[in-house]
Amino acid sequence: MDGELPGGNMNAVVRVGGTVRRAAGPWTPTVHRYLEYLAAAGVDWAPKPLDIEGDTEILTFVKGDVPLYPLPDWVWTDAALVDAARHLRQLHDASIGFGMDRADFGSERTIWQSPSKIPAEVICHNDFAPHNLAFVAGQIVGAIDFDMCSPGPRIWDLAYLATRMVPLTDSTGDGAPGELQTRRRIQLLLDSYGSDVRWTEVVRIAIIRLRDLAVMSIAKSEELAKPQLADDALLYERDATYLEGVLAALR
């Protein structure tokens, strides 16, 4: 059905037939080049860039159910967590080799909306979580909202996925696995992705990640004149404090 899609808190997304349209920014040409690179690398479940018309970008519509908060119970299955980890690994691996050197692309510059992080191992999605994943019958069929992507370490995305899907926050609603499941589900995520980092490092980066989100949300609140984003920043800070307690209890 055509019309504005639910869930966007920074950028309204409108569906028109088999396409979606949203406000473009200086980073949009870079993101479109990246999406084209992903498709060439075998990622067939990301949006395809179609055009930029003035200040509007046009992408293919990714069919599927994108869950909203409070997340439905089926998001919390081990199978869904494994599926998300494997998709994230495919995405990260496919990003390797993306050309950020402008020599091959004329006068265009590489611009990212989100600041790059070090080490720049891959191109991070920066918001890879259930609210940006499309599901059919409980299985992931696509990911959306690549406009915040930028170079960074693999664990930057892993920690955020863990925050939202293990979960590592107490603001997900009823039905989410409790703290007794936290360590096991972090390890399941890491094993499914194929990472040898320690589970405690995931939690440590998740705390940093949440505080980084809080700073960004305050800046975007002022830039976009959306005071609700400042409220989001308070939630991120609260979740970071909560995680510090979880880490201390699980050590």
Break the chain into its structural domains and give their ranges: 3-60, 73-250
Per-residue pLDDT tens digits for 199-220:
999 999 999 999 999 988 888 7
Backbone angles phi, psi at 7, to 5 degrees: 105, -30
**What does the alpha-carbon distance between residue 31 and residue 112 come to, in Å, rounded to a whole number?**
8
Per-residue pLDDT tens digits for 184-198:
999 999 999 999 999
Q: Which residue has the tokens 């979606």?
A: 20
DSSP label at residue 180: G
**How would CATH label the architecture of 73-250?**
Alpha-Beta Complex (3.90)
Q: Is 125 exposed, middle or buried (0-12, 13-18, 19+ CB in 10 A)?
A: buried
User: What is the model's pLDDT at position 103?
Assistant: 47
Per-residue pLDDT tens digits for 216-242:
888 877 777 777 778 888 889 999 998
Q: Is 42 exposed, middle or buried (0-12, 13-18, 19+ CB in 10 A)?
A: exposed
User: What is the model's pLDDT at position 246?
Assistant: 78
Q: Say yes or no to pLDDT of 179 above 70.
A: yes
Q: Say yes or no to pLDDT of 104 above 60.
A: no
**What does the alpha-carbon distance between residue 67 and residue 139 come to, in Å, rounded to a whole number?**
12
Per-residue pLDDT tens digits for 1-24:
667 776 556 678 899 999 999 999
Evaluate whether 19 touches 58 at the Cβ level (below 8 Å): yes
Q: Say yes or no to pLDDT of 37 above 70.
A: yes
Residues 6+ apart with CB under 8 A from 61: 15, 17, 18, 19, 20, 47
Q: Say yes or no to pLDDT of 100 above 90.
A: no
User: What is the model's pLDDT at position 145?
Assistant: 96
DSSP string, 111-166: --SSPP-SS--EEE-S--SGGGEEEETTEEEEE---TT-EEE-HHHHHHHHHHHHT
Q: Say yes or no to pLDDT of 176 above 80.
A: yes
**What does the alpha-carbon distance between residue 30 and residue 208 come to, in Å, rounded to a whole number?**
26
Give the whole-number percent of the chain exceeding pLDDT 70: 91
Q: Which two tokens stand for residue 60?
A: 């293919």
